[in-house]
Structure 1
């Protein structure tokens, strides 16, 4: 399934709304990059690859904008270990 993901710069996160619920991966801006601190998907939406879609979108954004990524969030760390094309 594809999700409509947006970059909510005001809230410092990439997010999607599914079934009226918001899922997101949030970051803190640092010099030259983004420090990803938390990824959250409502319990009812778990198991639908939403977190992976959010992080992929965020990594593509970082790549397109030449931003370094600092993965503090455990999910983002695991995603990057699994998806070595983002190294």
Structure 2
């Protein structure tokens, strides 16, 4: 596949996969500061169906998690894909924070507020 770009879009709180300038996938997160250090709660990762099976989700997760950790932000995996990815990539273990009820409550409220906006 040619012309694949992965970028951080902080205004939309997500990392995006673009093909020929079109967003075809994303790893969405919510910023959370209720812990000892800043955290990103990753809650949804998706690649458009027609681009499935090409390894793009793994590339997206790698960029998202690498940038998150290099910024000194802890990873909170709620998204099933990110959870599974982390089990196969122990190099992120020191930068991962276990999901707590407080994370889930915050995420639920943040997503509900966004849906109502």
Do they superpose with TM above 0.5?
yes
CA displacement, residues 21-68 of structure 1 (integer Å, 9 cap, x when unaligned): 521100000011100000010000000111111111011111111111
8 Å contact from structure 2 (residues 25, 47) kept in 1: yes
In structure 1, distance between residues paired with 2:5 and 2:78 = 24
Q: Give the TM-score normalised by the residue count of structure 1.
A: 0.92
Counterpart for residue 28 of structure 1: 30
In the alignment, the residues of structure 2 paired with residue 21 and residue 6 of structure 1 have an alpha-carbon distance, to the nearest angstrom, of 10
Higher helix proportion (structure 1 or 2) = 2
The equivalences for 1:64-75 within 5 A come to 64-75=70-81
More strand by share: 1
1:17 lines up with 2:18 in the alignment: yes
Pick from 37, 42, 54: which aligns with 2:48?
42
Using the alignment, how far apart are the partners of 1:22 and 1:8 within structure 2?
A: 14
Q: Is the 8 A contact 2:46 2:57 kept in 1?
A: yes
CA RMSD after TM alignment:
1.5
Q: TM-score normalized by structure 2?
A: 0.69
